[in-house]
Amino acid sequence: MTKRILLGMLTPSSNTALEPITSAMIHGLPGVSAHFSRFTVTEISLRDQALGQFDDSKIIAAAKLLADAKVDVIGWSGTSSGWLGFEADQRLCQRITEATGIPATTSVLALNEIMEKTDANDFGLVTPYLDNVQEKIVANYGRSGFNCVAERHLNLHVNFSFSEVTEDQIRDMVRDVAKQKPKAISTFCTNLKAAHLVPELEEEIGVPIYDTISTVVWKSLRMAGYDTRQLTGWGRLFQEVA
């Protein structure tokens, strides 16, 4: 019997993209399944009310529900530390493990690891976020030694609206960013329906694309001891980054 691998994913309450995409991504992997727990997130901005949505205690409560399902890994499928600071995710992972006994990771920490492994110091950034949120993300990456050579964003703040960004909008933003010849591009929002577009865009522009739904799946599988090369059709990340 194939050993089951259970991936737990923490999900923003208004996100309608990451659950179906994550499930589709792992559909062909024998014994692997994804399980989701939500907490309230409806707005992405720098307002106090919006920042308060990411209070660790609320996320820990959702993580404890995943622990009831005896998942192997708990992943925060979200990008909030992009503007809160990467240390927020490091602290969160530590607190999740302390509360549940289960190892934890996040979309952003996985992305950062991937960019370090691939020497993608000059990268491109595609998001739906507000101007000042985007500025925070770029600044945080700059402090960590990553130079954002090009970025595009849509100046949206309602989290639900991110899932309504069209495929053509995403393609156009990625193509614009690619003109500056970054070493990699990140589609940086787990409510963007971008992950399935990665193979076609990578072939077109010749640059690896690291979607933040994909990055947390990649890291979660690795933490569970699974060979990510078995996951095909979702871009170079799963075959090329060891």
User: What tokens were used for 170?
Assistant: 């995403």
Contact 22, 39 (CB under 8 A): no
Could you give the domains of the chain?
A: 5-108+213-240 (3.40.50.12500), 110-210 (3.40.50.1860)
Angstrom CA distances, 73 to 26, 62, 123, 124, 217, stand at 15, 14, 28, 29, 10
Contact 116, 177 (CB under 8 A): no
Q: What is the pLDDT of residue 2?
A: 66
What is the chain's pLDDT, residue by residue, as a tens digit (242 residues)? 568 999 999 999 999 999 999 999 999 999 999 999 999 999 999 999 999 999 999 999 999 999 999 999 999 999 999 999 999 999 999 999 999 999 999 999 999 999 999 999 999 999 999 999 999 999 999 999 999 999 999 999 999 999 999 999 999 999 999 999 999 999 999 999 999 999 999 999 999 999 999 999 999 999 999 999 999 999 999 999 97
**Its pTM surpasses 0.85:** yes
